Structure 1
Amino acid sequence: MNFDSLLSKYEAKACIVSVEFFPDDTYGNIRVVAGNQAHCADMAALGHPFVPGSPYEACFPKNQNFEDYCFRCIRNKKPLHAYVDLYTMGLWLNMFLIPLESDTPNTGYCIYVYDVSPKADTASMTDLSGDIASNVLKACIRLRGSDDRKKTFREVTEDIREICDSEHCCILLVDDEKRSCTILGDALKKGTRLLPMTNYIEGFYDITLTWPSTLAGSTCIIIKDPHDMAKLAEQNPIWAKSLAGAMVETVVLFPLRFDNKLLGYMWAINFNAENTIKIKKTLELTTFFLASEIASYKLMNKLEIMSTIDSLTGIKNRNMMNNRIDQIVSGETPIPDAVLFIDLNGLKRVNDEQSHNAGDIMLRTAANLLQEILHDGEVFRAGGDEFMALVPKITEAELQKRIEQIHEAAKAHNIHFSIGSCHGGTDVRKSMHLADQRMYDDKNAYYEAHPEEKYR
């Protein structure tokens, strides 16, 4: 066949790819045997002029998924299409593979037509078969139609497991700062011998660190047969050993990226390998939307934390304190047995004489002590050097014992608290007022005895 004559009809970038076939239904060398003018110009612009018959990685980044697509296109004699996020290059690839007849023994050919763009094209993303589009739409509707995000992520994980006809599916978030992982969704097929992800989560972050090099810029990793698993064992022995120990025979793994930032991973284990292409196309688009929802979910969690947690001490802030009081007044939350107001004495002196950093350390130490001793209650930073605590189900004798423990613990860290409390009140606002007044009485007595602490 005259490949050059055939390619001359294509105005888009196009080339002929050859695949060497082995008797065991695996493949060997993959080469680009011919290219049209647009392909050759593209190669020249990249700084390596096209040489017919070169290994494909002389033209394109080495990619196991691309190899598998070429192999399947030729072996199954069916055209294939993929729209791929080349995230390492900041580009989107639109690719078409068309099988060709071959008169060369043990070698097959296909036409590879491709184009790249810096932004995603929605028309290309939605060029899907009806069943794939239906599966993606179902996941999107779930993600957008629920107020309970955690529950929704679990449901979507089960949907993906069913789509892949797999034994296990998981959505895992990674935190590089904390070097840890969080399970967002985990679904197991009924009757499977596989174990839930909770059995492996401890120390699993170290395994996730091996995945970027295995992905090597690909949109996913697909292990569909023993041949692929053997390749993985050579490339990533740590992960391969983990898979073998978890009774994994096939796996497809997708990174979850949003705004060029890795959020986590999604995978399906022991899936139906006959549907590999369908699974890949479905999950490619599903993960695109899923990553967006996860980014939104993480942002909302961050905003919620910022609105309820004091950033310096890590305990609940004044906003959360006011919300809790409103809940108690409305009857949503029971009235606590004890209300305490606690002031950290001498903070101004530490700030003035030792630095504000030293004062911050003092505040964090104080918060930690209060959290530890009032472990069965809630401790809030009311503002500045002042804290409030609500303690349920505590006797007055136990309350006084806890106050003594606070003073003893504070003394060991060279700090001092003024504390006012109220026990057994039936109106939380009146109890707060009384505890606050007693705290100020205690504080005034302290500064009368220690004028050098510069009372404010």
Structure 2
Amino acid sequence: MNFDELLSHYKAKACIVSVEFFPDGTYGNIRVVAGNKAHCDDMASLNHPFEPGCPYEACFPKNPNFEEHCYCCVHEGKPLHAYVDLYMMGLWLNMFLLPLDSDQENIGYCIYCYDVTPKADSSAMADLSADTAADVLKACIKLRGSGDIKHAFQDVVEDIRQICGSDHCCILLTDDEKCTCSIFAESLRRGSSLYPMARYIEGFYTITETWPGTLAGSTCIILKDERDMDKLREQNPVWSASLDYAGVKSVVLFPLRHGGKLLGYMWALNFNIDDVIKIKETLELTTFFIASEIASYKLLNKLEVMSTIDSLTGIKNRNVMNNYVDQIVEGQVPMPKAVLFADLNGLKRVNDEQGHVAGDKMLRKAASILQSIFHDGEVFRAGGDEFMVLVSEIDESEAQRRIDQVHYLSKITDDVRFSIGLSYGEMDIRAAMRHADECMYADKNAYYMANPELKYR
């Protein structure tokens, strides 16, 4: 066959790939035996002049998944398409493989046509088989249409496990700053010999740290048989040992990336190895949308925390306090037995004389003391140097005893001193707040009368 003549009709970058395969189902050398002008120009622009018959890694990054695609194309005689995120290069690869006739017994050929762009192309993503498109669309609808995003992810992971015909499917989030990982969603086939991920999660982050090196720029890791597992044992003995211990025979693992940041991973264990290409095609696109939804979920959680938690002290802020009071007024939550107002004495003096860093430290210590003593209540930073504490179930004598504990712990510090007012047993929350506020100011006046030298004008 005249490959050069065949390729001359292709305007896009195209080349002929040869694959050596053996009776036992393995493959050997994969080479680029011919290339059209667009391919040769592309190689020249990268300072790698094309040489016909060269190993494929002389033209393209070495990638086990690319090798598997080429092998499947020539061995099974099926055209293949993939749209791949080359995250290491910040590019997207749109690739097509078309099988060709071969006059050699153990050598197969295919046309490899490809295009690389810096941004994702939605039309390329949509160019899927009907079954794959339906599976991906189903996942997207569940993620977008549910008010309970965690429940939706659980449904999607269950669907993906069934699509893969696997024993176990999991989305694992990683936190590189805290060096931890957490289970976001998980599905385990009933009757499977595998255990839930919770059995292994403690210390598992050290294993996830080995995955980027194993991926080595690939979009995924696919281990479909014992031969692949043997390669992994040489390349990544730590991970392979954990898989052997868990009884895992096959793995497909995808990183979840969004905006250039690694969010975590999704995998399927003991999957149907007869559907490798379909599984890869489905997960390649599904993980793109899953990563996007997880990024949005984490952003919303962060915004929610920012809107409810006082950033300086780490306790609930005034906005949450006001909402909680409104819920009490409307009868949505019960009226607390004890309502306390606590005010720091001397914060302005500390800010003026020692600086705001010292004042911030004083506020954090004060919040920590209140939280530790009223661990069964709601502690809010009402604003400035004021705090409010609500405790639903507590005796009046116990409430007073805890106030004494607050004063005791405060005296152990160099700077924290509280004035505290308590209202107990009041049935109207706003009346209780006024009473507690009045008692707090009375306590503050008593404090400065006993310590006139500390009163700040």
Same topology, TM > 0.5:
yes
List aligned pairs for 1:430-449, cutoff 5 A: 430-449=431-450
**Is the counterpart of residue 198 in structure 1 residue 198 in structure 2?**
yes
Matches within 5 A, 1:63-212: 63-212=63-212
Q: Which runs of 5+ in 1 are unaligned?
A: none
CA distance in 2, matches of 1:165, 1:204: 25
Corresponding residue for 2:38? Answer: 38
Shift of 1:448: 2.7
Where do 1:209-228 residues align within 5 Å?
209-228=209-228
Residue number in structure 2 paired with 1:420: 421
C-alpha displacement of 1:20:
2.0
AA in 2 matched with 1:11: K
**Is the CA contact (8 Å cut-off) linking 1:80 and 1:96 kept in structure 2?**
yes
Give the Cα–Cα distance (whole angstroms) in 2 for the partners of residues 451 and 217 of structure 1.
69
- Counterpart-to-counterpart distance in 2, 1:101 and 1:113: 17
Which whole-Å CA distance do the structure 1 matches of 2:346 and 2:227 have between them?
70
SS at match of 2:108: strand
Task: Give, in angstroms, the shift of residue 93 of structure 1.
Answer: 0.8
Whole-Å Cα distance in 2 between the matches of residues 426 and 339 of structure 1?
11
Q: What does residue 269 of structure 1 align with?
A: 269
Larger mean Cα displacement after TM superposition, 191-200 or 319-328:
191-200
1:276-425 correspondence to structure 2 within 5 Å = 276-414=276-414, 415-425=416-426
How big is the shift at 1:410? 1.2
Tell me the CA shift for residue 105 of structure 1: 4.2
For 2:448 and 2:331, locate their aligned partners in 1 and report how far apart those are by CA, in whole Å: 39
| Alpha-carbon shift at residue 449 of structure 1 (Å) | 2.8
Q: How far apart in 1 are the matches of 2:176 and 2:352?
A: 37
Deviation of the 1:64 alpha carbon:
1.0
Aligned residues: 456
- The 2-side partners of 1:267 and 1:20 are apart by 30
Cα distance in structure 2, aligned partners of 1:194 and 1:280? 22
Once residues 18 and 315 of structure 1 are traced to their aligned partners in structure 2, the CA distance between those partners, rounded to angstroms, is 64
- Report the secondary structure of 2:341's partner residue: strand
Task: Give the equivalent residue in structure 1 for 2:23.
Answer: 23
8 Å Cα contact 1:348/1:454 also seen in 2: no
Secondary structure at the aligned position of 1:113 is classed as strand
Give the fraction of aligned pairs with identical amino acids, expressed as a percent.
70
| Unaligned residue ranges in structure 2 (runs of 5+) | none
**Aligned-partner Cα distance in 2 for 1:438–1:316:** 23
Q: Distance in 2 between the 1:446 and 1:295 partners? A: 51
CA offset digits 1:268-289 (Å, max 9, x no partner): 1111011111111111111111
Structure 1 counterpart SS, 2:147: coil
Q: Which amino acid aligns with 2:433?
A: M
Letter of the 1:419 partner, please give it: I
Task: Tell me, yes or no, if the aligned pair for 1:70 and 1:110 is still in contact at 8 Å.
Answer: yes
Q: TM-score, normalised by structure 2?
A: 0.97
What is the TM-score when the length of structure 1 is the normalising length?
A: 0.97
User: Which whole-Å CA distance do the structure 2 matches of 1:35 and 1:88 have between them?
Assistant: 25
Secondary structure in structure 2 of the residue aligned to 1:62: coil
* RMSD of aligned Cα (Å): 1.3
Which residue in the other structure is 2:55 paired with? 55
Aligned equivalents of 2:449, 2:427: Cα separation in 1: 33
What secondary structure does 1:147 align onto? coil
